[in-house]
Amino acid sequence: MTPHAPHTDAPVPVLIVGGSLVGLSTSLFLGRLGVPHLLVEKHPGTSLHPRGRGNNVRTMELLRTAGVADAVREAASVLADNHGILQAHSLTSGDRGWLFKDIDPGGRLARISPEGWCLCSQNDLEPVLLRAARDLGGDLRFSTEMTGFEQDAEGVTARLTDRATGRRYTVRAAYLVAADGPRSPVREHLGIGQTGRGELFHNVSITFRAKRLAEVVGADRFIACYLTNPDAGGALLPVDNSEHWVFHAPWHPEHGEELAEFTDERCATHIRAATGVPDLEIDITGKAAWHAAERVAERYREGRVFLAGDSAHEMAPTGAFGSNTGIQDAHNLAWKLAAVLGGWAGPGLLASYGAERRPVAVATSARAAARSAEHSHPGYAAPPTTGRQSDVLAVALGYRYPHGAVVGADPGQQPVPERFEPSGAPGCRAPHLWLLRAGVRISTLDLYERRCVLLTGAAGAAWHTAAGRAAARLAVPLDRYRVGDGPDADLVPVPGADWAGAHGTAEDGAVLVRPDGFVAWRSCGAVADPEQALTAALSSVLSLGA
């Protein structure tokens, strides 16, 4: 067989196109759920450029559940003490001021999550995800490009090319996940349009070495410093707080400015002027253009093909909402694919992916643009149009699903609230509480990953029994936990933890939580026929019919 003679590889349940943060996260989450899959990425390896560094608390919760949060923190250790965004005319102008210094003032976060924010650049995070995905048996092929695909009622046939050898072959998959970036060829092929304001501004990300810059920065340990010199503005980001740095320089292609104009000499001159250190020795090590935009795909699914991450939405960088939203897309979709492929959910469950995730992306992309304007992000001249957005947790933890695979959610609530308040209402992230299981302290969030979970209180014995019967009747995997201090309790709340109050129910009520940690349904108290109630709730959430 010649190198260019096509052949067919073995079929796979899921084909992932794109091996950046979202594609790798999809692989990791599917691997954790035991779903065989193939990932293809046209580039030869993971990202080399430090970008996309802000991993919010919800993303860290998901990585915790997936067993890699500690490894991510280790990869990010060099920036563990960096917090906040600084602003100044230059580093030597004496007018430094914090746009915000502490992302968690007052320590509120420790009361509502077992995790925190983590500053881990994409080039450090992706290898962690890659190793974990491969350890779980994922088939991840770099230097492999999907050159085309067709789908039918039974699956997707993809044409692949090994860019290193030229070998061409086809793969048959039940479903395809397109995590192929903002210029997504898959989205274009499907003819899916986009909504939103489009391009907002453009930057060139410049990596460089400058050993003396740390002396000028001094003791300030920031995530980014916005330098506002009108003749040489930009954003300075530390890579190691020592000699490696990134600078985001405004770029104006709308005025005819070519990327080729950003020569090493021009970049070094710009950085010297922006930092206020005219004799700074600079070694330019790399350049990458990026575009801030506000766009969301008109739909997230076409047949057996799903969009995730930047192929589904583009967001301004302030707040790091884009990458986090993409990883959360992957988590939402993975359990639904696993449930349908595993036979314990109907195909209708997959329709809830777009119904849940698209409204969140629309709201979040608007928040990201408003936050960039509020912070006067270099290169973005738009004036602020909203009040100061102080509660980033509303986006990070407060996003919710008024419509989708939930029963009893308030259809009139906004997908992203103005302020975050923990809630056990259907469609919301299930609240975090510390519990003891066999004497070991765990978070309630540690219970949710592979199957649905029913929580009941000390007076919920009827629910506990009924859940077993309903799950057996529907052939649905379901974990049941009784929460309390009695002899029959499976989980014991730590002192001060009120599971019923946190979940908005009573001790004789019940809360059904999905594998992704979102409340699917709840009963505020006992009912006459708990088995029928649970059977109906599970059937509706999982699209199992009557």
In this predicted model, what pLDDT tens digit does every residue of 463-494 receive, in sequence order?
999 999 999 999 999 999 999 988 889 999 99
Positive/negative CA dihedral, 183, 186, 189, 194? negative
pLDDT tens digits for range 514-546:
999 999 999 999 999 999 999 999 999 999 974
Compute the average pLDDT of residues 367-378: 76
Question: Which residue in this structure is represented by tokens 């001021």?
Answer: 97
Residue-wise pLDDT for 31-43, tens only, equals: 999 999 999 999 9
Q: Tokens 């430094």, residue?
A: 96
- Which backbone phi and psi does 434 adopt, to 5 degrees? -85, 135
- Per DSSP (E only), the strands in 252-348 are 283-297, 301-302, 305-307, 313-314
Q: Is the model's pLDDT at 390 over the cut of 70?
A: no
Note the pLDDT tens digit of each residue in 138-154. 999 999 999 999 999 99
Q: Summarize pLDDT for 101-110 with one digit per residue, the tens.
A: 887 777 888 8
Q: What is the 3-state secondary structure (H, E, C) of 207-225?
A: EEECCCHHHHHCCCCCCEE
**pLDDT per residue over 245-269, tens digit each?**
999 999 988 889 998 999 999 999 9
User: What is the average per-residue pLDDT within 185-205?
Assistant: 93
pLDDT in tens, 391-418: 788 899 999 999 999 999 999 999 999 8
The C-alpha atoms of residue 525 and residue 329 are separated, in whole angstroms, by: 33
pLDDT at 382: 65
pLDDT digits (tens, 9 = 90+) for 212-243: 999 999 999 999 999 999 889 899 999 999 99
Q: What is the pLDDT of residue 384?
A: 59
| Spatial separation of the C-alpha atoms in residues 75 and 77, rounded to whole Å | 6
**How many residues are there in the chain?**
546
Could you tell me if 358 and 382 are in contact, meaning their C-beta atoms sit under 8 angstroms apart?
no
pLDDT of the residue at 313: 97
Q: Return the closest-CA partner of residue 248 out of 382, 103, 52, 81.
A: 52
| pLDDT at residue 255, as a whole number | 87
Phi/psi at 374 (5° precision): -60, -40
Q: Is the pLDDT of residue 4 over 50?
A: no
Confidence (pTM): 0.94
What the chain holds in terms of domains, given with CATH numbers, is 7-80+114-193+294-350 (3.50.50.60), 195-293 (3.30.9.10), 434-541 (3.40.30.120)
Give 291's pLDDT tier (boundaries 50, 70, 90).
confident
Is the model's pLDDT at 10 over the cut of 70?
yes
312-360 pLDDT, tens digit per residue, is 999 987 777 889 999 999 999 999 999 999 999 999 999 999 999 999 9
Starting at the earlier edge strand, list the strands of the sheet with 452-456. 478-482, 452-456, 510-513, 519-523
| Portion of the chain with pLDDT greater than 90, in percent | 78
Query: Has residue 389 got a pLDDT over 70?
Result: no
386 versus 20: the higher-pLDDT residue is 20
pLDDT given at position 6: 56
pLDDT tens-digit readout, 44-79:
999 887 777 789 999 999 999 999 999 999 999 999
Binned at pLDDT 50, 70 and 90, residue 370 comes out as confident
User: What's the mean pLDDT in 164-186?
Assistant: 97
Mean pLDDT confidence for 442-459: 96
Average pLDDT over residues 102-131: 89
**CA distance linking residue 318 with residue 462, whole number of Å:** 49
Average pLDDT, the chain: 92
Average pLDDT over residues 171-186: 97
381: confidence class by pLDDT, cuts 50, 70, 90:
low
